[in-house]
Amino acid sequence: MLYGKPKYVSKSIKRPAKVIKKLNSGKLSIGYYVITYSNNTEMLDIYPGYVFKQQFFRDMDMMVVGLAGSKSDAFDLIAKIAEDSLAKTGECNLKKYLLL
């Protein structure tokens, strides 16, 4: 299950809460990318929306960091997160920055 309010959202997504709700139900699949914390690392994961049609992914608890309307938007959001992290903390520890 996806949870949390994304801190970073691409401009093409108008209602992020509605998108997360539909992804959790398995109804929405194409045209969205979800950025989450990676397990046991300081990195982030990008999941295409279609993986949430599978029950396995819907059963996993994932904290949403960002939502993007395309793969390139997802990469741009991660670059923005890295830039913000470096500017505010002086290091590129994305997980630590996002948990502030």
The rounded distance, in Å, linking the Cα atoms of 49 and 28 is 7
User: By CB neighbour count within 10 A (0-12 exposed, 13-18 middle, 19+ buried), where does 66 fall?
Assistant: buried
pLDDT in tens, 35-85: 998 887 778 999 999 999 999 988 888 889 999 999 999 999 999 999 999
Q: Domain range for residue 62?
A: 2-98
The pLDDT of residue 92: 87
The pLDDT of residue 100: 78
* Count of domains for the chain: 1
